[in-house]
């Protein structure tokens, strides 16, 4: 796994500070065990390389372009590796998904988030965290998006999602349907769209604020970690679309007093890495 930090939070509208997350998530990763119970694998045995942080300008559109360039370069150079990005705010995903779209075939984006991030613009900005999925939908097709855990909408977003038939499972629905059914829906989406490459983007506010208090926009009634991790692990491990990039975004360390949000972000990357190994080996773990 190749790790890249993207310390960018210039468009954060509520609680800034995700610029510090690349450091705190790495530190958390250094203090937790690398054994995945879901995979039955000790990930200590697998190589993780840290490529450092991307240096970025303040201006949103230029930042996005730089991210795209760097990630595309890395993807091109290491075709067999999983790339893990540590945000920064969600706006970075436009850059990195664009890089995947440039380098790989039929990319799809599985998003865990409390929000749609589908506004046309926000605070006069078209490249902010609140519009990132709108830009992706416009550029690569709205059918390439699948949301898990959404629950806080602006009217404009609900309308757009409806109109474009974007697929999503709210956090309430996850509780009603159960892990298995959500996994099945994601699997059908992958088949229907014909995804060959999978990008998993985890906005940490997809989790409930009790588990991830240190985020830019905490929204009640989110997912419990075991639930979301079970879903993501199974979707990846059992999917035909090859996992290529994962990101964790929107951790805001100045608001993460006990540090548990950074730890959960590190754990999320690890379980995705484990799922990747299982997918690669073609065999399910323990």
Least separation in angstroms between residue 105's CB and a second copy is: 34
* Residue with Cβ nearer a second copy (2 or 228): 228
Supply the DSSP string of 87-156, one letter for each residue. Answer: ESSTTHHHHHHHHHHHHSSSEEEEEE-SB----S-BTTBSSSTTTHHHHHHHHH-GGGEEEEEE-B--HH
Least separation in angstroms between residue 26's CB and a second copy is: 11
Helices 225-238, 260-281: axis angle to 10 degrees equals: 20
Distance set, CA 220 to CA 114, 132, 147, 203 (Å)? 9, 22, 17, 14
Does residue number 152 form part of the binding site for a second copy (CB under 8 A)? yes
146 neighbors 167 (Cβ within 8 angstroms): yes
| The pair of three-digit structure tokens given for residue 219, joined into one six-digit string | 């929204």
Least separation in angstroms between residue 192's CB and a second copy is: 25
Q: How many CA atoms lie within 13 A of 204 on its CB side?
A: 34
Judge whether 203 is annotated as a binding position: yes
H or E segment and range at residue 168: strand 167-170
The entry of Mn ion, a second copy, none near residue 125 (CB within 5 to 8 angstroms by kind) is a second copy
Prior bond to 88 cis, omega within 30? yes
Does residue number 188 form part of the binding site for a second copy (CB under 8 A)? no
* Residue with Cβ nearer a second copy (77 or 165): 165
The entry of Mn ion, a second copy, none near residue 78 (CB within 5 to 8 angstroms by kind) is none
Q: Of 189-208, which residues contact Mn ion (CB under 5 A)?
A: 203, 205
Q: Of 22-61, which residues contact a second copy (CB under 8 A)?
A: 23, 27, 31-33, 35, 37, 42, 44, 55-60
Distance set, CA 158 to CA 134, 161, 174 (Å)? 12, 5, 18
Does residue number 141 form part of the binding site for a second copy (CB under 8 A)? no
The entry of Mn ion, a second copy, none near residue 90 (CB within 5 to 8 angstroms by kind) is Mn ion
Does residue number 229 form part of the binding site for a second copy (CB under 8 A)? yes
> For residues 105 and 117, what is the distance between their CA atoms, to the nearest angstrom?
24
Given 225, 238, 284, 285, the residue binding a second copy (CB under 8 A): 225
10 neighbors 67 (Cβ within 8 angstroms): no
Does residue number 113 form part of the binding site for Mn ion (CB under 5 A)? yes
Annotated binding site: 90, 113, 115, 117, 203, 205
Q: Which residues bind a second copy (CB under 8 A)?
A: 9-12, 14-17, 19, 23, 27, 31-33, 35, 37, 42, 44, 55-60, 62, 115, 123-125, 128, 151-155, 158, 170-172, 175, 208-211, 213-214, 217-221, 225-226, 229, 254-260, 263-264, 267
Q: Which residues are annotated as a binding site for Mn(2+)?
A: 90, 113, 115, 117, 203, 205
């Amino acid at each position: 796994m190749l790790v890249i930090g993207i310390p960018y939070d210039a468009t954060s509208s509520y609680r800034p500070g995700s610029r510090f997350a690349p450091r705190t998530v790495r530190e958390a990763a250094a203090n937790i065990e690398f054994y995945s119970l879901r995979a039955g694998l000790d990930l200590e045995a697998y190589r993780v390389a840290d490529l450092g942080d991307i240096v970025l300008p303040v201006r949103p559109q230029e930042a996005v372009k730089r991210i795209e360039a760097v990630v595309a370069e890395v993807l091109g150079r290491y075709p067999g590796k999983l790339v893990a990005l540590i945000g920064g705010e969600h706006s970075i995903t436009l850059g990195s998904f664009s890089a995947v779209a440039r380098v790989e075939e039929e990319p799809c984006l599985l998003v865990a988030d409390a929000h749609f991030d589908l506004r046309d613009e926000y605070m006069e900005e078209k490249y902010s965290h609140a519009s990132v999925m709108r830009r992706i939908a416009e550029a690569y097709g709205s059918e390439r998006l699948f949301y898990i855990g959404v629950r806080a909408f602006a009217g404009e977003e609900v309308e757009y999602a409806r109109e474009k038939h974007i697929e999503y499972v709210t956090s309430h629905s996850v509780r009603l349907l159960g892990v298995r059914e959500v996994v099945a829906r994601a699997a059908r989406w992958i088949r229907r769209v014909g995804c060959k490459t999978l990008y998993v983007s985890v906005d940490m506010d997809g989790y409930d604020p009790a588990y991830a208090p240190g985020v830019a926009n905490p929204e009640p009634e989110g997912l419990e970690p075991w639930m979301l991790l079970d879903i993501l692990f199974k979707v990846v491990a059992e999917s035909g679309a090859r996992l290529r990039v994962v990101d964790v975004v929107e951790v805001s360390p100045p608001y993460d007093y006990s540090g548990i949000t950074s730890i959960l972000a590190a754990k999320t990357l690890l379980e995705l890495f484990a799922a990747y190994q299982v997918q690669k080996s073609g065999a399910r773990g323990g």
